[in-house]
Amino acid sequence: MRFLFSLVVVLLAAFSVLVLAVALARGEGIYAVLIPLVVVLAILLARPRPVVLDHDGVRQHRWLRPDRAIAWNDIASMKRGRNTGLTYVRSKKGGRPISFSPLLVGQPRFEHEVRAHIGGSSYDGE
């Protein structure tokens, strides 16, 4: 999947460069380049963000904002979304949960590791 994802992004970027070169050679506007660039941006924004388990807790990397982190002793619950398959880890302090996408590798292991650190009593799997 990573290879396919990277291939699509690279091909769309190359297509954008080609469209820009043709538009500039013909003296036309560069608005046609916006279409493949918006598609590339949408693909990059829709890509699941990696989640890391370490000795401090659970951390999710984000692009433009600081990483979202929950310490092991601050985890309130872990629940798998019924319709999405995402695993949500919620903090006792509130706020947005960390979500582990089923598109990422190792969701069962992720859930096992979190359960092992929080004692297994706060898991609501479906």
pLDDT digits (tens, 9 = 90+) for 98-122: 999 888 888 899 999 999 888 765 5
CA dist list (Å): 80 to 14, 104, 108, 125:
38, 14, 11, 5
pTM of the model: 0.67
Q: Return d(Cα 110, Cα 59) in angstroms, integer.
A: 12
| pLDDT tens-digit series, residues 29-84 | 888 889 899 999 898 888 888 899 999 999 998 877 888 999 999 999 999 988 88
CATH of domain 51-124: 2.30.29
CA dist list (Å): 112 to 11, 45, 65, 115, 117:
38, 28, 28, 5, 9
- Per-residue burial over 115-124, b = 16 or more CB atoms within 10 Å of its CB, e = otherwise: eeebeeeebe
Tell me the domain boundaries of the chain.
Answer: 2-46, 51-124
Q: Return d(Cα 67, Cα 14) in angstroms, integer.
A: 31
